[in-house]
Amino acid sequence: MVNFKKARERMVETQLAARGIGDARVLEAMRKVPRHMFVDEALRDQSYNDHPLPIGEQQTISQPYIVALMTESLGLSGGEKVLEIGTGSGYQTAILAELAGRVFSIERHPALAQRANQILQQLGYQNCIIRVGDGSLGWRDDAPFDGIIVTAGTPAIPQPLVDQLAMGGRLIVPVGDKLGQDLYKVERAPEGIRKTNLGGVRFVDLVGKWGWKE
């Protein structure tokens, strides 16, 4: 039987800090959130390993390092309003809920959204809300957002998400083909939109109006 707390500590030291994740708040959140609760019981022993895991509906919970890298890139200091596209297991949602003021998350598979919601409730997170739908359209009613994170790969940056960024806001999004993408940070600055390539990643597809077609 794995000691989950120890496995989490080891994950933070060997997979995150050792690879350059330096934001103390992000490391603390990853030390705290019980990742094993977001995966199927049969896979719990692997939940702190250095790779993604299946969560049903042919989707995955992302590798811990990728969760940390994307979260750190949002530059959260607390109190922000954040939008997540692709709730999946709800693990990334919990990390965001630890670091931001309010988290809005959208998932296209109702079964995943329901399970994620259940676990987040059970763990006591009260500052996140999950909706079922096409997240490539964003969440207009509650825009603008200080941070937007897309946890699925898209052929191009969905324009509604750029439009829903607050001034100074950051959008983190994997853009590329189905086999691999580059992770982009898109910032809305007074001078205009600034894009930075953060490096290569591999995600499941963002399926929707502004992503891949079904």
Asked if residues 100 and 82 have their Cβ atoms less than 8 Å apart, the reply is yes
Binding map of ligand SAM across residues 122-161, x = CB under 6 A, - = no contact: ------------xxx--------------xx---------
Catalytic residue flag (residue 73): no
Task: Determine, following the binding rule CB under 6 A, whether residue 172 of this chain makes contact with ligand SAM.
Answer: no
Task: Determine, following the binding rule CB under 6 A, whether residue 92 of this chain makes contact with ligand SAM.
Answer: yes
CA distance 62 to 78: 23
Phi then psi for 179, rounded to 5 degrees?
A: -95, -20
Task: Determine, following the binding rule CB under 6 A, whether residue 115 of this chain makes contact with ligand SAM.
Answer: no
Task: Determine, following the binding rule CB under 6 A, whether residue 211 of this chain makes contact with ligand SAM.
Answer: yes
Shortest CB 176 distance to ligand SAM, Å: 14
Q: Which residues contact 148 (CB under 8 A, 6 or more apart)?
A: 82, 83, 84, 85, 138, 161, 164, 165, 169, 170, 171, 172, 173
Task: Determine, following the binding rule CB under 6 A, whether residue 181 of this chain makes contact with ligand SAM.
Answer: no
CB atoms within 10 A of CB 192: 7
Contacting residues toward ligand SAM, per CB under 6 A: 59-62, 85-86, 88-89, 91-92, 106-109, 112, 134-136, 151-152, 203-204, 206-208, 211
Return the active site residues. 62
